[in-house]
């Protein structure tokens, strides 16, 4: 973990000088600048008074001093972070908290999109805070000059550039997770996606845990988010349609393509990395001991037999019914479409790219393709919408 420097920032030195002009003694001034996350020795104040250091810094105006005193202590009481000096870290934590609260909010239809955009902001601030702590300039430069935005402000690195820097402190799995979410963000910008929340939930969960691990590793355990973000409660069990959704069926084509393309660029080991996607099984449990009767969740050690069992039961269905193409055609005829033939079924399969594993419509067993109920329902839905054989 990089050591956080116990030193005054330039703006703080200006305030100290203004206080010294008001005849305040170093010991009293020192109390304004020490906090749980940073201890300032009163000798630093004496060095400013005696002009041994910071001689070039101009003292603050009376208005600036008054504003400082009115806002003081201006510290987050939970973490001890100063809202100005620790602005990047404060913003990083609040952006991730906002992302999780938004995703967990009831009644929202585009939770995944909102989470991704807000969490990317949080990760960007977190890495900016890290690079600032390491003394790495995280501004864009061209021919040595700092690049500016149209409004004249310094242009800082976006998250992708932060991840690509040689001193990025994040593990490969974390980087893969964030680059995946950035790819999805590019796909969903200014485009209607329908709901993709469930299909991305494992990646979003990993993003949350990775952020919490990173902020603790880079800045200290006292900045963890566990106390601010309790476990979310579920109101439902999962029926067949919801299971199909959770397995990724009916994703918009451009989202499914982006997901497949990203996955194809990763090794099997990288795809299994819990830092890339984190999966949890919720299993109804009868407690063996009275004192455990109220526990809704049981945590198991990764790699243990229990964990392997969880891996096997995650979203496991009880032998999902499987259908041959002839069964699908028969279902269509029984639903009032007597003219629907095997040839029509083949055309519809090609038209909807139904054999794409990402669609979740079926599976290949011993060189034979079997369809799930979700495909049967999709065929009936298309026929009800008036699907007809494409003209040659």
For 68-102, the DSSP string reads HHHHTT-B-TTT--BTTTTHHHHHHHHHHHHHHHH
End-to-end CA distance of the chain: 66
Helix (H) or strand (E) holding 30: helix 26-33
Beta bridge partners of 148: 154
Is the separation of the CB atoms in 154 and 161 below 8 Å?
A: no
Enter the tokens of residue 373: 């109920």
> Tell me: the pLDDT tens digits for 9-28?
899 999 999 999 999 888 88
Residue 388 confidence (pLDDT): 84
Percent of the chain at pLDDT above 90?
43
Residue 248 confidence (pLDDT): 45
Q: Name the pLDDT band for 142 (thresholds 50, 70, 90).
A: very high
Residue 304 confidence (pLDDT): 67
| Confidence check: pLDDT of 6 > 80 | no
> Tell me: the pLDDT tens digits for 150-196?
999 999 999 999 999 999 999 999 999 999 999 888 877 655 555 67
Is the separation of the CB atoms in 88 and 128 below 8 Å?
A: yes
How far apart, in whole angstroms, are the C-alpha atoms of residue 84 and residue 90? 9
Residue 112 confidence (pLDDT): 85
Residue 282 confidence (pLDDT): 47
The model scores a pTM over 0.85: no
| Confidence check: pLDDT of 44 > 50 | yes
Residue 90 confidence (pLDDT): 93
> Tell me: the pLDDT tens digits for 69-90?
888 888 787 777 888 888 999 9
Higher pLDDT, 291 or 353: 353
Residue 237 confidence (pLDDT): 47
> Tell me: the pLDDT tens digits for 45-57?
999 999 999 999 9
> Tell me: the pLDDT tens digits for 299-346?
555 566 666 665 554 444 445 688 999 999 999 999 999 999 999 999
Q: Name the pLDDT band for 113 (thresholds 50, 70, 90).
A: confident
Is the separation of the CB atoms in 92 and 19 below 8 Å?
A: no
> Tell me: the pLDDT tens digits for 227-280?
777 655 444 444 444 444 444 445 556 666 667 777 778 787 887 777 877 655
Closest CA to 154 of 142, 164, 166, 165: 142
């Amino acid at each position: 973990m990089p050591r956080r420097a116990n030193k005054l920032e330039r703006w703080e030195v200006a305030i100290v000088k203004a206080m010294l002009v008001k005849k305040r003694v170093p010991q009293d001034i020192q109390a304004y600048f020490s906090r749980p996350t940073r201890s300032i020795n009163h000798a630093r104040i004496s060095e400013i008074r005696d002009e041994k250091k910071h001689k070039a810094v101009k003292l603050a105006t009376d208005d600036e001093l008054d504003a400082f005193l009115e806002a003081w202590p201006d510290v987050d009481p939970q973490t001890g972070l100063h809202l100005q000096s620790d602005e990047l870290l404060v913003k990083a934590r609040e952006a991730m908290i906002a992302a999780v609260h938004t995703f967990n909010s009831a009644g929202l239809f585009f939770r995944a999109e909102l989470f991704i955009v807000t969490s990317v902001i949080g990760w960007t601030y977190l890495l900016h805070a890290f690079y600032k702590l390491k003394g790495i300039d995280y501004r864009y430069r061209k021919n040595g000059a700092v690049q500016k935005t149209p409004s004249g402000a310094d242009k800082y690195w976006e998250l992708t550039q932060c991840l690509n820097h040689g001193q990025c402190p994040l593990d490969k799995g974390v980087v893969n997770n964030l680059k995946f979410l950035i790819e999805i963000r590019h796909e969903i910008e200014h485009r209607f996606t329908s709901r993709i929340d469930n299909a991305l939930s494992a990646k979003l969960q990993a993003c949350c845990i990775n952020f919490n691990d990173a902020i603790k590793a880079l800045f200290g355990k006292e900045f963890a988010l566990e106390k601010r973000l309790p476990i979310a409660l579920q109101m439902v069990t999962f029926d067949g349609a919801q299971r199909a959704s959770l397995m990724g069926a009916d994703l918009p084509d451009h989202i499914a393509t982006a997901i497949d393309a990203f996955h194809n660029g990763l090794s099997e080991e990288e795809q299994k990395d819990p830092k890339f996607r984190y999966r949890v099984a919720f299993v109804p449990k009868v407690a063996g001991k009275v004192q455990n009767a109220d526990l809704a969740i049981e945590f198991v050690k990764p790699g243990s037999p229990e964990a392997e069992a969880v891996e096997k039961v995650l979203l496991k269905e009880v032998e999902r019914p499987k259908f041959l193409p002839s069964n699908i055609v028969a279902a269509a005829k029984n639903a009032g479409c007597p003219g629907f033939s095997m040839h029509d079924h083949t055309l519809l399969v090609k038209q909807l790219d139904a054999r794409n594993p990402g669609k979740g419509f079926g599976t290949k067993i011993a060189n034979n393709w079997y369809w799930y109920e979700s495909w049967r329902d999709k065929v009936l839905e298309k026929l009800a919408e008036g699907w007809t054989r494409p003209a040659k």
